[in-house]
Amino acid sequence: MTVLAPTRLDDAVAALAADPSLTVLAGGTDLMVAVNYGQYRPAGVLSLRRVRELHDWHVEGEGSAAQVVLGAATSYTTVLDPALATLLPALAQASRTVGSPQIRNTGTVGGNLGTASPAGDTLPVLVALDATVELTSASGSRNMPVSEFVTGPKQTALAQDELVTAVRVPIARGPQEFLKIGVRNAMVIAVANCALVLDLGGRHLACALGSVGPVPMRDRDAERWAEARLDWDARPPLDHALVDDFGRRMAAASRPIDDHRATAAYRRHAVEVLARRALARAWAAT
């Protein structure tokens, strides 16, 4: 088994084009568990550790079009850095809940996307923000919304010869919230999570739920319903009935299952509470 460790992105892309069976290794926090337990034996590994571009981020565009271009190998710890956290508050809140400091130092946003677990903590945030993922192969790059990229539980639209190279995330245009439920205070896989973002200028609200369906889910009807009723100009304290109703709508849209971590009934109830609290909190911050 070969371990390739290119330093340049185009070398990485070329290596993958030459051998699409290579296993791409960024943080390794999912891959290495499977390797350690003998469940997965890669024939070859393409390590992205040294590809500088994938670890960097920068801001692109201006005003309401401004977005952060996160290299796919951006670690959760990097997202927690104040410089990024102020631009992407919900993503930082989500990153803070992932695993442990060791995991956050190593795990990457690109990896969270590539694994596409229904419980992935960055995914609801990216879906709520209409983030796009950049996929690169030897034939070039393409971008697609994260909501289209994640196609099912642990399934993505990634072609075998493609690398996730970046995620483009719109910069916060208003308050954002990310809430996550686990049975323990730290190092838990989400029983349910919720991202809610407000675009004050655009008068938009987006709310995505995780762990209550095969992929992170939004309900555009519920969002439009709320948008129409929020007083975006005066921004008075929220009406309880509105908040409660919003929570119920989000819960009704969810498709949770029973598993060894939680019951479907609890998950449905939980996302109602999370959506309610996320909306109330985000609005109170306006």
Partner 1 sequence: MTPALASTGVQAPPARGGAAAGARVGDSPIRPDGTPKVQGRFAFASDLEADSMLWGRTLRSPHPYARVRSVDVGPALAIAGVSCVLSADDVPGASTYGLMALDQPVFARGVVRYTGEPIAALAADHPDTARRALAAIVVDYEPLEPLVDPARSAETPPIHPDGNVFRHIRIEHGDPAATGEVVVEGVYEVGMQDQAFLGPESGLAVPDGEGGVDLWVATQWLHEDRDQVAACLGLPHEQVRLHLGGVGGAFGGREDLSMQVHACLLALHTGRPVKMSYLRDESFVGHVHRHPARMRYRHHATAAGDLVKIEAEVLLDGGAYASSSSAVVSNAARFACGPYRVPNAVVDATVVRTNNPPCGAMRGFGAVQVCFGHESQMDKLAARLAMDPVELRLRNALATGDVLPTGQRVTGAAPVAECIRAAVAHPLPTTSNDGWLDHPGGAGRTAEPPRVRRGVGVAAGLKNVMYSEGFEDDSEARVRLSGGVASVTCAVAEVGQGFVTIASQIARTVLGCDAVVEPAGTVGIDSAGSSSASRQTWMSGGAVLQAARQVAGQVRSALAERLGVVPESLTLTDDGWIVGAADGGAVGALNMTVAEAAGDRVFESTAVHRHRRTYPLGEGGQGDADVSFVFAAHRAVVDVDTDLGLVRVVQVTTGQDVGRMLHPTQVIGQIEGGIAQGVGLAVMEEIVVEDGLVRNPSFTDYLIPTVADTPEVLATCIEEPEPEAPFGAKGAGEPPTISSTAAVAAAIRSATGVDVTRVPVRPWDLI
Partner 2 sequence: MTGTTPTPATPAPDADAEAVYQLTVNGTAHRVEGTRPTDSLLHVLRDRLGLPGAKNACEQGECGSCSVLVDEVLVCACLELAEAAVGCEITTVEGLTPVGAEPGDAALTGTVLTDVQQAMIEAGGVQCGFCTPGFVVAIHDLLDRVPDPGPLEVREALAGNLCRCTGYGRILAAIEQVVTVRENGR
Provide the binding-site residues for partner 2, judged by CB under 8 A: 1-3, 5, 25, 27-29, 32-33, 35-45, 47, 49-50, 77, 99-103, 105-106, 185-187
- Beta partners for residue 170, in sequence order: 67
CB of 92 to partner 1, least distance (A): 11
**76 sits near partner 1 (criterion: CB under 8 A):** no
Range in contact with partner 1 (rule: CB under 8 A) among 14-22, 60-68, 90-98, 233-241: 90-98
Shortest gap between Cβ of 69 and partner 1 (angstroms)? Answer: 27
Q: Which does 97 bind (CB under 5 to 8 A by kind): partner 2, partner 1, none?
A: partner 1
Task: Decide: is 182 part of the binding site for partner 1 (CB under 8 A).
Answer: yes
Of the candidates 181, 212, 255, the one whose C-alpha atom is nearest the C-alpha of residue 118 is 212
Shortest distance (Å) from residue 248 CB to partner 2: 34
Scan for tokens 């960024």, then name that residue.
26
Out of partner 2, partner 1, none, what residue 269 binds, judged by CB under 5 to 8 A for its kind, is partner 1
Could you say which of 55, 180, 204, 249 contacts partner 1 (CB under 8 A)?
Answer: 180
Rule CB under 8 A: is residue 140 a binding residue for partner 1?
A: no
Closer Cβ to partner 2, 39 or 237, answer by number: 39
The one of partner 2, partner 1, none whose footprint includes residue 123, by CB under 5 to 8 A per kind, is: none
CA distance 24 to 27: 10
The residues in 185-204 that bind partner 1, with binding defined as CB under 8 A, are 185-189, 191, 193
Alpha-carbon Rg for the chain, nearest whole angstrom, is: 19
Give the shortest CB-199-to-partner 1 separation in angstroms.
21
Cα angle 17-18-20, degrees, rounded to a multiple of 5: 60
Using rule CB under 8 A, residue 154 touches partner 1: no
The answer to whether residue 183 forms part of the interface with partner 1 (CB under 8 A) is yes
Using DSSP's 3-state secondary structure scheme, residue 137 falls into strand
CA torsion sign for 116, 117, 122, 123 is positive
Helix intervals (H) in the chain: 9-18, 31-36, 52-55, 76-80, 82-85, 89-97, 101-106, 109-115, 122-128, 146-149, 220-229, 240-253, 264-284
**Under the criterion CB under 8 A, does residue 237 sit at the interface with partner 1?**
no
Residue 21 burial by CB count (10 A; 0-12/13-18/19+): exposed, middle or buried?
exposed
Q: Which is nearer to partner 2, 30 or 245 (CB)?
A: 30
User: Pairing between strand 57-60 and 44-47?
Assistant: unpaired
Cα–Cα distance for residue pair 12/35, rounded to 1 Å: 22
Site residues (vs partner 1, CB under 8 A): 36-38, 93, 96-97, 177-189, 191, 193, 260-263, 265-266, 269-270, 273-274, 277
